[in-house]
Chains A and B, each alone.
Chain A
Amino acid sequence: MSSQLPILQVIIPLISAPLCLIISRPKLVWLFTLIASTISFIISIILIHQVMQSGTIIYSLGDWEAPIGIEYRIDYLNAYLLLIVTGISSIILLSAHTSITAELSHNKYVLFYVLFLLCLSGMLGIIATGDAFNVFVFLEIASLSSYSLIALGKDRRALTAALRYLLVGTLGATFILIGIGLMYMMTGTLNMHDLSERLPNLSESRTLIIAFSFFTVGVCLKLALFPLHWWLPNAYAYAPSVVSAFLAATATKVAIYILLRFIFTVFGIEFSFSILPLQKILLALGLVGILTASTIAIYQNNVKQLFAYSSISQIAYIILALGMNNSTGLVAALLHLFNHALMKGALFLALSAVMYRVGSTQLTDFSGLGKSMPWTMAAIVIGGLSLIGIPLTVGFISKWYMLIASLENNLWPVTVLILLGSILTGIYVWRIVETAYFTTNKTGLNHIKEAPFSLLLPTWLLILANLYFGINPRFTITITKLTAQSLGAMP
C-alpha cells in the first residue's frame, strides 16, 4: 500500500469527483470532499516523511518502466509542494459549506465540489508527475476546472473574468505545449529525468533556447508574473470567496513549482543562469512587479481586488528571490511559497467571512467592522502584518532571507527596493485597518454579527500557522534548505 502512495495522492481526488455526483446531498458531499482532501493531506505527510528517510521516491505508473511508461518522482520539492497544496485545500474546505451557501445558488453546490476536487487533483498531478507532457495534461485539468470555478461567482463580471482567464490560460498552456514539443524533438524523451541528462549536451542549440523561451513565457502567463498579470485581479475578485482563497493560496504556487522544476532540474542551473541572462530578467521583472502591483493595490476600492494585486506583488517577490541565483535566495523563494500560501489563504478566508456577513468587500463597507466582527478583522490585521513582514509572523522569515540573499550578492539597491515594497504593503494594509477600526459605520448596519464558527475556525487555523511558523520556523527552514540542496544550488 505504502508504495502506491504517489499515485493515490492524485487518484483519490480524481475518483472522488464523479462520486460527488452520486452522493448529491450538499452537506454529505461537503463532508466527503473534506475527507478526500484530508486523506490526500495525510498521504502527503507520509510522503514527505518517506522522502526525508529514504530519499527520492520513484513510482512507475501501471508498472511500465520509465522511458515507455509515465514515471512519478517525489523528491523534496514535490513533497513540499504536495504538503502545501493539500494542507491549504483541506483547511479551506472546512469553510466551504458555510461560505458557498451564501454565495452560490442552490443547484450549484454539488457542482462546486466536483470542480474543486478536479482542480485539486490537477494540481497534485502537476506536482507529482515526472513526465513533461503529463504536466501539460494535468495543467489543463486544473485550469479548466478553475475557469469554471471562477465562473460560478454571483457577479456577472465573474463570467468575463473567467473567459479572459480561459483565453490567457489556454494561450499559456499552448506555449508550454510548444516548448515541450521542441524539447521532445531534440531529445526524443518526455521523462523529466532523462531530459535533464540529455539537454545539457545541447546547450549550444538555438532550438533549446526557443524551447526554453516558449516554456517560460507560458508558465509566467500562468503564474501572473507582471506584466502578464491582467487576468488575475478580476478573476480573484469576482470568483466565490472560497475559490479566491483556494486559487490565491495554491494555483500560482503550482505554476511556480513548474518554473522551478524546469529551470533547476530539466534545463539545469548552468543553462538557465549562465548561458541565458535569466538572472537579470527575473530580477528586473520581480522588482518592477513588486513596486507596480503594490502601488496599484493601494488605489483599489474592492478589498478582494486589493489582495489580488497584493498576490501579484508577492509572486514577484518569489521571482525576485529566484533571481538572486544563490542558495539563500532559493531558500527565500521556497519559504515564501509556503508562507504566502498561509497568508493569502488566511486573508481570503477572512474576506469570505466578511462577504458572508456584509455581502460585499468594498472598502467602504469595512467601516466599523473592527467592532462588529472583531475576530475576523483581527485575522485580517495579523495576516496583513505578515504580508508586510513584521517580526514574529511568517512574512518576516521569508523577507529576512530575501534581504540577506540580496546583500550576499551585493545587490543593495535591490535590498532598498524590497524594503520599499514592504512600506507600500504597509500602506495598503493600513487603509483596511484604518477603515475597519477608526471609522464609524454611517449606513447604520449595526446588526452585523461576528462570522459563524465554521468560517472563523479555518481562518484562525491559518492565522495561527502564520504565527507558529513565524516564531518557530525550524521545520520550514530545514525542509527548504534540503530542497534547495536537492535542486543543486550551492550549499
Chain B
Amino acid sequence: MYKTEIRGKLISGDKSLGQISQDILRPIDAKTPRWWYAAMTMSLALFGWGLYCKYITVSQGIGTWGVNNTVAWGWEIVNFVWWIGIGHAGTAFSIFLLILRQKWRTAINRAAEAMTVVAVLCASLFPLLHMGRPWLFFFIFPYPNTRGPLWVNFNSPLFWDFVAISAYMLISASFWYFGMVPDFATIRDTTKSKIKKAIYGFFAFGWVGSSKEWLRYEGLSFVLGGIAAVLVVSVHSIVSTDFAVSVEPGWHTTIFPPYFVVGAIFSGFAMVLTLVTLMRKLYKMEDFITDSHVDAVCRILVFISLIMGTAYITEIFMAWYSGSEYEMYTFFKNRITGEYALQFWGMFTFNAIIPQLFWFKKVRSKLWVVFIISLLINWGMWFERFNIVVTSLSRDYLPANWAEYHPTWVEIGFFTGTIGMFAAGVLLFFRYIPMIAISEIKSVSKYDKPMPEPKIEHHD
C-alpha cells in the first residue's frame, strides 16, 4: 500500500475527478503558447538539416561519413543503440512499474510511452540508412521469394535485431495508443471545437466508457503489457548480441545482454526525467508530477547507476581474468588510457559517479540539478555506446589495421536531425495529446486521502 506520509502526495491540490480532467486537458484547449512555436521551429530546422544530411548519405554513399575499413560502424550505430535505449523507458516504465504495482507511474507513463515511440522511430533510421544499399533493405525480410527461395541468415544477430525492433515498435505503439483511447473520448466529450471533436472522436473509436469497454480495455492492456514485458528484455538483449556474438575484443562479452537492458532502462529513465521536469515546468503540472515522482525516478536512477558501475568494473575484471592479451589491451590500454579515454571516463563519471549525488535528498529536491544530471546521464550513456562501438573497433587484433575514426558533418547532421525529430515529436505530443493518462491517474486520486477507518466487528 502506498504510504503518502512517507512517499509524498501523488496528486496535490485536493482535486475532484472533474478538476483532474480539466487541468490535464487545459493545454490542449488553450491557445498554443509562443515558446512552443519557437521550439517547434528550431526542432523542424534541425530535422530539416538532418533530412539534407540523409539526402547526401543516400545520394552519394556512406563514404560521406567518417567510417572506414577498420571502424566500419561509427556514430550511426552509437546513435542507434542510444535511441533504442531511450526508447526503452516508456514500456519499461509502464510494464515493470505495473508489475511492481507502483501506482506513481500513472503520472508519467504516458509521456514515457510517447517518448518510446518517437525514440524508436529515430533509432530505426540509423540501421536503415547505414546500409550500403538501403534501397535493398527488404532483403532482410524473411519472405518467400523467387530467388531459390533465398532466405535470410537466421544466425545473424542483425536479423534478430530487425525482428526484435520491429516487434517492439509495433507493440509499444499499440500499447501507447490503446492507453489513450479513453482520454481521446474525454477530449471529444469536453471540447467545444467541432474539428477537435471530429478528430479526437475518430481516434477514440467511439469509446463511451461502459463497463464492458473498460473490461475489454483492461484485458487488452494486460495482453499487450504481457507481450511488451518480454520485449523490453528481449529488445536490448538482442541489440547487445550485435556485439556479443562477434569476435571483437570489447564486443565479445557474455555480460552484454543484461548490461544493455539495464543500460537502456538507465538512459530511458534519465530521458523520462528530462522530459517530465520540462513538462512540469512548462505546463505547470506540479500538481500531478509532484516532488515525490521526481524523487522516485531519482531513487531508481541511483540504483541502476550502481548496477552500471558494477557492470563496468566487471567488464574490466573479466578482461584481466580472461588472460587474453587482446581483451586486456582493449580494456586497459585502449579504453582507459587510449586515444578515446575521454569517452571512457566520460561514461564512467556520468553514469556511475555523478548519479550517486541522488543519495542526497537535497539534490533530489532541486529540480534544476535533477534536470542537469538527467542530461549528463544521457550523455554518459552515449559515451558508453561510443566506447563499445568505436573504441573497440579502432584497435583490435592486427595493429597494422588500427585506425582512427572521426565523424563528418554529415553524420553529425544526421544525429542532430534525429534530435530535432525527437523534439518535434515530443512537442506535438505536448500539444495534442493528454500528457498524463487521465483515466489512470484518476485511479490514484484517492491515495492521499486518509484511509477510512476499518470497521472492526467484535465477536465476543
Same complex: no
Write the residues of chain A forming the contact surface with B, with a CB cutoff of 8 angstroms. none
Write the residues of chain B forming the contact surface with A, with a CB cutoff of 8 angstroms. none
